[in-house]
C-alpha cells in the first residue's frame, strides 16, 4: 500500500513556492526592465529568502544546514544552495548597478533548474520523478514571476511575457497530466487552468478598460501556481513501494 513521504512537509513546499516565484520575478525583471526594478528585485530576494528560511526551520538541527554545501558534485540540493548564494550576491549588487540584473537572472534560472531536478530526484515518487516535472516547474516559476512583475510594469513587453509564460505553463501542465495520473493534483490542476490561465487572461483583456485588473491577473496566476506546487510536494507525494513482477517458484523435488 502506498503512503505519503514524510521527509518534506509544507515548509519544504514553501521553498518551491516562494523560491520559484522570486527567481521567476528576477528573470521577468531582467526581461522587462520596469521603472521600479529595484523594488521588484527586493521583492524577489525576499521571496527566495523566505523559501530558504522555511526549509531551514524544517531541519531538526538547523546548524547542520552548512553541510548542504559539501557535495555540489552529487547533490542538487547543494547546487541549489550555491546558486542561491550567487542569486543573492548578484541581486544585491543589481540594486546598485542595474546592469547586473541579467547576471542575477541567470543565477535565478540556475536556482529554479536545481530545484526542479531536486524534486525530480525523488525516484520513489511517481508524481515527482517524471521527465515532465522539470518543464512544469520551470514554466510555473516563470509564470508566477511574470505575474508579480505586473505589479511593477504593465507595458507591452511585460504583458507579452505574462501571456507567453501562462500559456507555456498550461502546455507544460497538459504534458505532465498525459504522463502522470495523480488524483491528488486534480483540484490544483483545475485551479491552474480555470483561474491561473483562463481567469488571468480574461482579466488581462479587461485591463484595456480597467488597468487595475492587470495586477490582479498576475496575482491570480501566481496563486494558482503556488497551489499546484503545494499539492505536488505535500499531497501527490505517494511513494511507489516495492514491485515484484516475477515471484520465485521453488522447483518440485
Q: Give, in degrees to the nearest 5, the angle at Cα 134 between 129 and 136.
A: 110
Q: What is the pLDDT of residue 247?
A: 56
Q: 3-state DSSP: the chain helix, strand, coil percent, rounded to 5?
A: 75, 0, 25
Q: What is the pLDDT of residue 1?
A: 45
Among 105, 125, 109, which Cα is nearest to 12's? 125
Q: What is the pLDDT of residue 214?
A: 96
Among 120, 80, 86, 92, which Cα is nearest to 106's? 86
Produce one character per residue of 71-80: b if its CB has 16 or more CB atoms within 10 Å, e if not: eeeebbbbbb
| H or E stretch at 24 | helix 20-32
Q: What is the pLDDT of residue 239?
A: 76
DSSP secondary structure letter of residue 208? T
**Do 21 and 148 form a contact (C-beta atoms < 8 A)?**
yes
Instruction: Please tell me the distance from the alpha carbon of residue 161 to that of residue 6, in angstroms, as a whole number.
Output: 37
Q: What is the pLDDT of residue 220?
A: 98
Q: 13's torsion region: left (phi>0), alpha (psi -120 to 50) or beta?
A: alpha
Consecutive 10-residue runs of the chain (253 residues): their mean pLDDT?
Answer: 73 93 97 94 97 77 58 77 94 96 97 94 88 96 98 95 98 96 94 97 93 95 97 86 58 52
**Do 72 and 79 form a contact (C-beta atoms < 8 A)?**
yes
Tens of pLDDT, residues 131-168: 999 999 999 999 999 999 999 999 999 999 999 999 99
Instruction: Please tell me the distance from the alpha carbon of residue 180 to that of residue 182, in angstroms, as a whole number.
Output: 6
Q: What is the pLDDT of residue 237?
A: 80
- C-alpha grid cell, residue 52: 530558504
**Do 225 and 196 form a contact (C-beta atoms < 8 A)?**
yes
Among 52, 58, 63, which Cα is nearest to 17's? 52
Instruction: Please tell me the distance from the alpha carbon of residue 95 to that of residue 109, in angstroms, as a whole number.
Output: 18
From first CA to last CA, the distance across the chain in angstroms is: 35
- C-alpha grid cell, residue 43: 521583492
| Location of C-alpha cell 485588473 | 213
Q: Which residues pair with 238 in a beta bridge?
A: 4
Amino acid at each position: 500500500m502506498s503512503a505519503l513521504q514524510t521527509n518534506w512537509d509544507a515548509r519544504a513546499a514553501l521553498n518551491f513556492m516562494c523560491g520559484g516565484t522570486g527567481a521567476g520575478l528576477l528573470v521577468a525583471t531582467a526581461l522587462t526592465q520596469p521603472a521600479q526594478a529595484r523594488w521588484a528585485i527586493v521583492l524577489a530576494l525576499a521571496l527566495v529568502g523566505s523559501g530558504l528560511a522555511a526549509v531551514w526551520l524544517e531541519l531538526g538541527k538547523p546548524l547542520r544546514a552548512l553541510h548542504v554545501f559539501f557535495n555540489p558534485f552529487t547533490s542538487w540540493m547543494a547546487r541549489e544552495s550555491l546558486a542561491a548564494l550567487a542569486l543573492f550576491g548578484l541581486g544585491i549588487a543589481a540594486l546598485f548597478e542595474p546592469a547586473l540584473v541579467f547576471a542575477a537572472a541567470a543565477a535565478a534560472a540556475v536556482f529554479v533548474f536545481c530545484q526542479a531536478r531536486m524534486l525530480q530526484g525523488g525516484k520513489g515518487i511517481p508524481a515527482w520523478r517524471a521527465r515532465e516535472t522539470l518543464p512544469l516547474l520551470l514554466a510555473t516559476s516563470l509564470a508566477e514571476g511574470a505575474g508579480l512583475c505586473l505589479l511593477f510594469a504593465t507595458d507591452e513587453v511585460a504583458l507579452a511575457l505574462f501571456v507567453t509564460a501562462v500559456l507555456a505553463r498550461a502546455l507544460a501542465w497538459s504534458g505532465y497530466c498525459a504522463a502522470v495520473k495523480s488524483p491528488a493534483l486534480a483540484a490544483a490542476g483545475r485551479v491552474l487552468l480555470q483561474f491561473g490561465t483562463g481567469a488571468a487572461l480574461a482579466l488581462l483583456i479587461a485591463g484595456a478598460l480597467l488597468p487595475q485588473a492587470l495586477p490582479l491577473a498576475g496575482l491570480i496566476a501566481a496563486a494558482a501556481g503556488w497551489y499546484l506546487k503545494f499539492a505536488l510536494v505535500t499531497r501527490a507525494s505517494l511513494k511507489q513501494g516495492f514491485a515484484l513482477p516475477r515471484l520465485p517458484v521453488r522447483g518440485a523435488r
